[in-house]
Amino acid sequence: MRLVLKQEFWSLGDDFVIQDDQGNECYHVDGRAFSFGDKLSIHDARGIEVASIEQRVFSWGAKYEIHRPGHAVTLVSKEHFTFFSCKFEIDGPGREDYEASGDFLDHEYEISGASGLVAKVSKQWFGWSDTYGIDLSDDLDPVLMLAIVVVIDLVCHADKNG
């Protein structure tokens, strides 16, 4: 499955539109502009909230919680003290534990789980806003993977709004 995540250019918060490979809007991410810490919600094409993302404000380093109805909380955290590289740990319920690694400065990275590679993320460089191509394994929850990519974008672009 291939999805395109595009940040909306004229928005107060961190807002994204997610489209399938046919250009149909599948999801919308709405970031709250005036909140203490990052808070976002992901809605499907019908406008129903399918996930929310909340930054753990009083924690050491970048940590975010992903909440999905019917699922336990997934925690995404940037690993500390990694030399010459950057990694994100994704601690989810059951077998939904992943690791994101790659070149985050160039926005080219992979997400791997116990079964191996599950997603590849690549940024489009020529655009007014951040645009990512996301290739997912068909057996994954696309909402969780999209939420993870949004969190990584928030952490890697922490200085863009400040």
pTM here is 0.86
Residue 141, Cβ neighbours under 10 Å: how many?
Answer: 16
Structure tokens belonging to residue 160: 């863009």
pLDDT tens-place values along the chain, 162 residues long: 999 988 876 555 578 899 998 999 999 999 876 556 688 999 999 999 999 999 987 767 789 999 999 999 999 998 866 555 678 999 998 888 999 998 766 678 999 999 899 999 998 665 556 788 999 998 889 999 999 999 988 887 665 544
Residue 161 forms part of a structural domain: no
Residue 78 tokens read as: 């940037």
CA dist., res. 41 & res. 28, Å (int)? 8
36: domain CATH number is 2.40.160.200
- What is the residue range of 17's domain? 2-156
Number of domains making up the chain: 1
Whether residue 162 is contained in a domain is answered as no
Residues in the chain, overall count: 162
> Residue 15: left (phi > 0), alpha (psi -120 to 50), or beta?
beta
C-alpha closest to that of 40 among 153, 130, 131, 123: 153
